[in-house]
Amino acid sequence: MRTSKESNIGDTLYVKKDKTCVPLPGFKPQQAMVFAGVYPADQSQHPYLKGAIEKLVLNDSAVTVTPDSSPALGQGWRLGFLGLLHLDVFSQRLQQEYDADPILTAPSVTYRIKLKGAKIIAAHGGSEEIYVSNPALFPDRTMVEEYYEPYVLGTIIAPTECTGPIIGLCVERRAIQKTSINIDNDRIMTTYLMPLNEIVLDFHDQLKSISSGYASFDYEDHGYVPSALVRMDVLLNGQMVDELCTVVHISKAQSHAKELVLKLKELIPRQMVQIAIQAVVGGKVVARETLKAYRKDVTAKLYGGDVTRRMKLLKQQAEGKKKMRAIANINVPKDTFINVLKR
């Protein structure tokens, strides 16, 4: 064996000459539910972070590691975890035990997709159903018969006076209430069926905030449920940015798109050319913001009232900006992607 990943817990090792050895029954590997990208803050730290991740995975075989690369963030990995707590513990161990401070992108979940059409199925290895955890690889609706997203059965125990705000939070996250039981005069226990994608970011923090820290939340896997999902792409002057692709429910596409383009407008620094920031769903622009370019006052040195000279200079400036916009590459700082993608 050259690497530790070649041997899994539960494998039977024996001497090659021993023909009488009976291997132990196999086991089903645990399936990752939550995925996040991990990148070194400085690419020179890549070998050190790689070694730290490999050492942690030795003690935690449930973590899946896949090499990944990003034009904005560089070389890194896409890690799979059993849940949010698993992800948090792993990232804290990286920081505390190995003094590593990696860039951790926002977590995503694995979607199940049922394809349609013999050619499309054949192009995906002959499998009618595929699993996708990277939003950039999410197939278009024309190739898909049905989308499925993972759901969980969540249990919330909270003070009775917090019932109203908690119900509002759960409805906002597309949750369906299943049961509600009064534990005593002061506490109530409710169970909700909710999409895993809606709780992977800040649901627990929001719950603690509206209950002043008194509410508790636990969940268990409920399987996959058919859902109306769409992939949202982000274009900067017509060029797609793969790192900013997301998968959202169709009912939230408009609001999420507006929030994302506004955030990008605030984070991207102004440049010599105007930048059109667009959020696109299914080939249709659902939100747009324009980041104005720097402008030089070309008429500052003019004297007198020569209108024709003034108009000539302004026309030359407009033509120069148009030419620059056609050939210029947009320079988006790495910090901008980090602030948008990080948890």
Of 79, 98, 99, 86, whose CA–CA distance to 39 is shortest? 79
What the chain holds in terms of domains, given with CATH numbers, is 29-105 (3.30.70.870), 113-226 (3.30.70.240), 231-328 (3.30.70.2570)
Residue 265 to residue 139: CA distance in whole angstroms: 28
Beta strand extents in 203-270 (DSSP E only):
216-226, 229-236, 239-240, 246-249
Per-residue pLDDT for the chain (343 aa), expressed as one digit of tens each? 666 556 666 677 777 777 777 777 766 667 777 888 888 888 888 999 999 998 898 888 788 898 988 777 788 998 988 877 888 889 889 989 998 888 888 788 889 999 998 898 888 888 899 998 888 889 988 899 999 999 999 999 999 999 999 999 999 999 999 999 999 889 999 999 999 989 887 788 889 899 998 999 988 889 999 999 999 999 988 888 877 888 999 999 999 999 999 998 988 888 777 888 999 998 899 999 998 876 666 555 666 666 776 677 667 656 665 544 443 466 666 667 667 765 4
At 327 the pLDDT is 37
Query: Helix, strand, or coil here: 10?
Result: coil
Angle between helices 334-341 and 253-267 in degrees, nearest 10: 150
The two tokens of residue 194 are 């909710």
Burial letters 48-83, b for 16+ CB under 10 A, else e: ebbebbeebbeeeebbbbeebebebbbebbbbbbbb
Contact 218, 154 (CB under 8 A): yes
At 152 the pLDDT is 92
At 324 the pLDDT is 45
Amino acid identity for residue 268 in this structure: I
- State the alpha helices, DSSP H only, in 144-252: 163-172, 203-210
At 5 the pLDDT is 59
Residue 28 to residue 100: CA distance in whole angstroms: 32
At 62 the pLDDT is 83
At 108 the pLDDT is 84
